[in-house]
Amino acid sequence: MACEESENFATMETPMETEIRKLVEAALGELGEAAPDFSVEAPRDLSHGDYASNAALVAANQSGENPKALAERLAAKLRDVKHSVFNKIEVAGPGFLNFFLSPEVFAAELGKILAAKDDYGRPPAGGLAGRKIMVEYTDPNPFKEFHLGHLMSNTIGETLSRLMEWRGAEVKRACYQGDVGMHVAKAVYGMRLEEANFPPETASFREKAKFLGRAYVAGATVPEFGVDNYQNGLAGLNKVIYDRSNPAVNKMYDWGRQVSLAYFETIYRKLGTRFDFYFFESEAGPFGKKLVTEWLGKGVFEESDGAIIFRGEHTRVFINAAGLPTYEAKELGLVKLKFEKYPYDQSIVITGNEVDAYFRVLLTAMAKIFPDLAARTRHLSHGMLRLATGKMSSRTGEVITAESLITEVTRAARGNEAVAIGAIKFAILKQAPGRDIVFDLAKSLALTGDSGPYLQYAYARAKSVLAKVDHPSLNKEGKGEVRDAGPVEKLLIHFPGVAARAGREFAPQLLVTYLIALAGAFNHYYAENQIIGSGESEAYRLALTAAVAQVLANGLRLLGIPTPEKM
């Protein structure tokens, strides 16, 4: 099914991890031990070493030898081997090996970072190379507000897309939008009620979008109508919108749809997203209805009270009693439309977690009709982005839109939109996608750590140092001062592994945590060490600063966070 299943263990490793693996395998062979499938990875606490391995534990489990005794023999053998990789090897716990790399390794890594530049950390051939992945995210509905949930989906979806591209996949970004349905009927009805306040054609897309938001609220909350009559009236209007049988309604609908889509594009540009494909419920609906009808009575769908339903974990209506396809039927049609547009190896759909149960039923139905496509589909959900006042509802008119949040944070960031976007995206990405987030404006803009601006400031600080020197004078090999590596060097070397793992596990928070640690280590280094004018140490310290700037830039780019060079 998923791309991850096609990867073998070797393609998941960084070049350094592969080199350590080969040395360990050779040493095990010299000791007469079989080379098992062991791990080589960065320990959580880098004071315990730069890399750690369970090789002795796994080998001892096969041979029946005491793990710690085998670890001691393996460490001794590795110390005897002529190489320039390890400075020290320790045996820890029941038989783990902790490896401390030599100063030469860290110095050489600086040269690799400066030579590779924007490509530093990109995995070698393998991984997701050659894989075709479609990622669907954001999915705002025309005629409604672009709200905080869309902002969350966009941030997570864009970052995961970049992380998969980084690992070699061809990624196509898709946005699926509900341009038909009862919410559209409510908005069009509200446009009739608000016709006197219709914005002029010279108004901005933002002003026109605000009008649509007010129209939706007006159409969704009209107390003078009885609920039954009102809903029946909306149902009729909804059908008219579907079959385009009323020219006046068509004109209003077409105007609102065009305004919404154009307005959404202004937000995508701010967020750094460009979609390859746009799909709409108006095209997925008819195809989905056709599929459901074709599979009626074949053990998939059945009739119930004039509707067509699917009985799964929960019973879901796919075609309602009025003969219109529901969200479920539209999604069923969408999966086929996606594959026809782009024959993917994997389709990833990112939504809020409030539809988790619905998606499980949908995937069950999909597996009966399109088993191959269902096997290629993965649903990832995220939590809610909340402010101090909690979740807002567009139905009540109290909605806090994505743009209003960006505007408020930009104002607090003294007009710097790049800093505001960085603050918001960081707040969303710093924890696992499935969790709810409470956005704190003051903390999100703090320059003292654990914020997007803190990362941006560390990058700008490094760039300001480099701007004071002639770049050609930098020692590209990182030579000039070979010494025991400090926290900055020890963190730099792990960027490739962290970036790969963040993409492999769909966990951008791992990269966020790493970048915060790197920025903190560099800020401490900057405070404690003179860089320019430090004599023989200057070339090395400039190379180290340039490497930090490059890795921060690469990491922030993967997160979709802007990298201003001045703050």
Kindly list the distances between the CA atom of residue 547 and the CA atoms of 117, 358, 450, in Å, as whole numbers in the listed order: 9, 47, 21
Instruction: Supply the pLDDT for residue 229.
Output: 54
CB atoms near residue 425 (< 10 Å): 28
Which residues of 353-397 form beta strands (DSSP E)? 377-382, 385-386
Contacts of 112 (CB under 8 A, 6+ apart): 120
pLDDT band at residue 476 using 50, 70 and 90 as cut-offs: very low
Average pLDDT of the segment spanning 190-219: 91
Which residues of 120-241 form beta strands (DSSP E)? 132-136, 170-177
Pairing of strands 96-101, 86-92: antiparallel
Q: Can you name the residues that pair with 380 across neighbouring β-strands? A: 350
User: Does 475 score more than 70 pLDDT?
Assistant: no
Q: Give percent of the chain above pLDDT 70.
A: 91
Contact 157, 350 (CB under 8 A): yes
Nearest residue to 369 via CA among 325, 323, 334: 334
| Among 96-105, 223-232, 466-475, the range of highest mean pLDDT | 96-105
pLDDT band at residue 488 using 50, 70 and 90 as cut-offs: very high
Instruction: Supply the pLDDT for residue 480.
Output: 47
* C-alpha gyration radius of the chain: 28
Within 400-451, residue ranges assigned H as helices are: 402-412, 417-429, 441-444
Which is more confident, 374 or 6?
A: 374
Instruction: Supply the pLDDT for residue 127.
Output: 76
Average pLDDT of the segment spanning 133-160: 96
Which is more confident, 393 or 560?
A: 560
CB atoms near residue 486 (< 10 Å): 15
Kindly list the distances between the CA atom of residue 380 and the CA atoms of 2, 4, 23, 354, in Å, as whole numbers in the listed order: 13, 15, 39, 12
Produce one character per residue of 237-275: b if its CB has 16 or more CB atoms within 10 Å, e if not: bbebbbeeeeeebeebbebbbebbbebbeebbebbbbeb
User: Does 30 score more than 60 pLDDT?
Assistant: yes
Residue-wise pLDDT for 425-450, tens only, equals 999 999 998 889 999 999 999 998 89
Contact 360, 351 (CB under 8 A): no
Question: What DSSP state is assigned to residue 81?
Answer: S
Nearest residue to 290 via CA among 244, 347, 337, 257: 337
User: Does 6 score more than 50 pLDDT?
Assistant: no
Distance between CA atoms of residues 85 and 426, nearest Å: 35
Instruction: Supply the pLDDT for residue 413.
Output: 96
Average pLDDT of the segment spanning 479-508: 86
Is the pTM for the entire model greater than 0.75?
yes
Q: What is the mean pLDDT of the chain?
A: 90
Residue ranges covered by each domain of the chain: 3-101, 417-425+438-559
Level-2 CATH architecture, domain 3-101: 2-Layer Sandwich (3.30)
**In the structure encoding, which two tokens stand for residue 183, read together?**
């919410």
Average pLDDT of the segment spanning 198-222: 90
CB atoms near residue 198 (< 10 Å): 14
Produce one character per residue of 552-563: b if its CB has 16 or more CB atoms within 10 Å, e if not: bbbbbebbbbbb
Instruction: Supply the pLDDT for residue 228.
Output: 53
Average pLDDT of the segment spanning 370-399: 77
User: Does 227 score more than 70 pLDDT?
Assistant: no
Instruction: Supply the pLDDT for residue 230.
Output: 56
Distance between CA atoms of residues 24 and 97, nearest Å: 10
Average pLDDT of the segment spanning 357-366: 93
**In the structure encoding, which two tokens stand for residue 446, read together?**
């703090």
**In the structure encoding, which two tokens stand for residue 181, read together?**
């349905």
Level-2 CATH architecture, domain 417-425+438-559: Orthogonal Bundle (1.10)
Average pLDDT of the segment spanning 206-232: 76
Which residues of 217-301 form beta strands (DSSP E)? 277-280
Contacts of 23 (CB under 8 A, 6+ apart): 78, 81, 83, 85
Instruction: Supply the pLDDT for residue 236.
Output: 85
Contact 286, 222 (CB under 8 A): no
User: Does 510 score more than 90 pLDDT?
Assistant: yes
Instruction: Supply the pLDDT for residue 393.
Output: 47
Average pLDDT of the segment spanning 250-269: 96
